[in-house]
Structure 1
Amino acid sequence: MSDISALLGQIPSIVHGFGTKEALLPVSLQPYRETLPEKKQVHGLRIVDVVAPRQACGEADGFYTETPGILLTVFTADCLPVIFSRRDGKAVAAVHAGWRGLRHGILEQMAARINQQGSTQDWVAAIGPAAGACCYQVSQELVDEFQQGLELPAELISPSPRHLDLPAIAHAKLLQAGFAAVDFAGSCTICTPDPRVTQSTLHPESALHRETKGHKYTSFRRNSLKRLQDPSLPGIKGRNQQSGIIILPD
């Protein structure tokens, strides 16, 4: 099962979902796969207006549409997927926000796009599964960069030494940008166990089995650490979660 947002679930004219390892593209969104825009995510700040199915978007990390029947998605592993809807369901958006995009303003760029034709006060946003403060250890230099560059409480940015809380930073930024409401869907992509599998069902001698079956989400960081121990483990290319949203076609 994919993760869903309680906020977005209240809007009847849209369908949304956050991918998991079980369903990289949420099952509810799979019927609309053929409408997906073509894109290359680059941890940048570019927002694209999507007006046609399969539109070529080039390098972009944010997508906005008012056109029914076009599925907007972003690929993530430990980065933040954030999806948006106007409260009347007449416009939707999706953003890929890794630490670079979050630090340098991808959410503010989406807010600026929304404010061109309306107001963020008429929109809600949902933050999907991503690396949590429990596991996202970084350099002290990066923590310092965030704390010095953002007007947010230092303890919100880094609740424990050398850890960043990306979902909390995104939540605070979205509220600062004027969104009517923001919620969280999903949990930490690095440590959240697969609820379908208990540790007793795993084969202790099989690191690969633990990687593919033991966690709810695909995680670039968890996979990289395992590959340091066992270089034979495959990478995650082709196994990133997709999180997305669509205005239902008429």
Structure 2
Amino acid sequence: MIQSCLLSAIPSIAHGFGHRQMLTPEVLVEFETARPYKQQVHGTRIVTVETPGQACGHADGFVTDRPGVPVSIVTADCLPILLAHRSGRYIGVLHAGWRGLMDGIIERMLKQITALQWGELSQWVAVVGPAAGAHAYQVSEALIAQFRARLDLPEAIMSPRPRHLALGAIACHKLESAGIGEIAHIDQCTITTLVDGSAGPREGPDPDAYRFQSHRRHTLTHPDPETRPKLPNQHSGLVIVP
């Protein structure tokens, strides 16, 4: 299980980021029956979760103030972002891929927190979890051009290498600019990080050598979509402990 000291410092909250050997963080397993039902669609809809097992429909962000009700998302190469008020009374989680970052899912989440009157953003902390790293996440020049046109970001943050997108850096910049009090980035690449924490090649001979599930790596390893096995995703989330 992967955790952040920033969230571990809030006693009333349990959190974790999943990985290939432990898809659901062990601290969230006992709350699994209370997990909301949802379908992630790379959108920007944020749902306030008020009851265990709540039906949330299509959504990629969740907030709650209810103890014992976990909020979590599944990812492969997209960003899991966990948020919490320093008091431990309010929590949130985001599934943020390139579409969500471009379309403003972080801004939607912070707008929801403000509308709920759950404290000043400066009293919130955020942890940006493992995702496709800028060194390995190669995209089209057309997509980079869309980011340049729609987001006011320094090039060195958005695309530090030609045709490579820095999801984690973009998210951290957005959170900092919005006034989040403290931000941590677990900068581990889901495409290349090995079980021992070192960085491997983009196309390794042994998928079991890698720490995370990765759709990008999985597609490279199994190029034929007809025979490609289904890839289970890893869960990341948090819960206010009753």
Alignment TM-score > 0.5, same fold: yes
Aligned partners of 2:44 and 2:100 also within 8 Å: yes
Unmatched runs of 5 consecutive residues or more in structure 1: 200-205
Instruction: Give the whole-Å Cα distance in 2 for the aligned partners of 1:179 and 1:144.
Output: 28
* 1:12-64, Cα deviation, whole Å (9 max, x unpaired): 00000000001100011111111100000001111000000000000000000
- CA change 1:29–1:231 in 2 (3 A) is same
- Is 1:247 aligned to residue 227 of structure 2? no
TM-score (norm 1): 0.91
Instruction: Give the whole-Å Cα distance in 2 for the aligned partners of 1:122 and 1:114.
Output: 11
Instruction: Give the whole-Å Cα distance in 2 for the aligned partners of 1:248 and 1:33.
Output: 13
Unmatched runs of 5 consecutive residues or more in structure 2: none
* 1:103-139, Cα deviation, whole Å (9 max, x unpaired): 1100000010111203211100000110000100000
Instruction: Give the whole-Å Cα distance in 2 for the aligned partners of 1:221 and 1:194.
Output: 17
Which residue is 2:214 aligned to? Answer: 219
Instruction: Give the whole-Å Cα distance in 2 for the aligned partners of 1:171 and 1:215.
Output: 25
The alignment partner of 2:43 has SS state of: coil
Q: How does 1:162-201 map to 2 (within 5 A)?
A: 162-185=163-186, 187-195=188-196
Which residue is 1:133 aligned to? Answer: 134
Aligned partners of 1:3 and 1:186 also within 8 Å: no
Which residue is 2:30 aligned to? Answer: 31
TM-score (norm 2): 0.94
Q: How does 1:84-163 map to 2 (within 5 A)?
A: 84-116=83-115, 117=117, 118-163=119-164
Instruction: Give the whole-Å Cα distance in 2 for the aligned partners of 1:193 and 1:23.
Output: 14
Higher mean C-alpha displacement, 80-89 vs 144-153:
144-153
Runs of 4+ in structure 1 over 6 Å off: none
TM-fit CA distance, 1:148: 2.2
TM-fit CA distance, 1:6: 1.5
Instruction: Give the whole-Å Cα distance in 2 for the aligned partners of 1:196 and 1:49.
Output: 35
Which residue is 1:52 aligned to? Answer: 51
- The number of residues matched between the two structures is 237
Instruction: Give the whole-Å Cα distance in 1 for the aligned partners of 2:225 and 2:84.
Output: 42
The alignment partner of 1:73 has SS state of: strand
Instruction: Give the whole-Å Cα distance in 1 for the aligned partners of 2:165 and 2:230.
Output: 24
Identity in percent: 44
Which residue is 1:234 aligned to? Answer: 229
CA RMSD of aligned residues (A): 1.9
Instruction: Give the whole-Å Cα distance in 1 for the aligned partners of 2:238 and 2:152.
Output: 30
TM-fit CA distance, 1:152: 1.2
The alignment partner of 2:238 has SS state of: strand
Which residue is 1:40 aligned to? Answer: 39
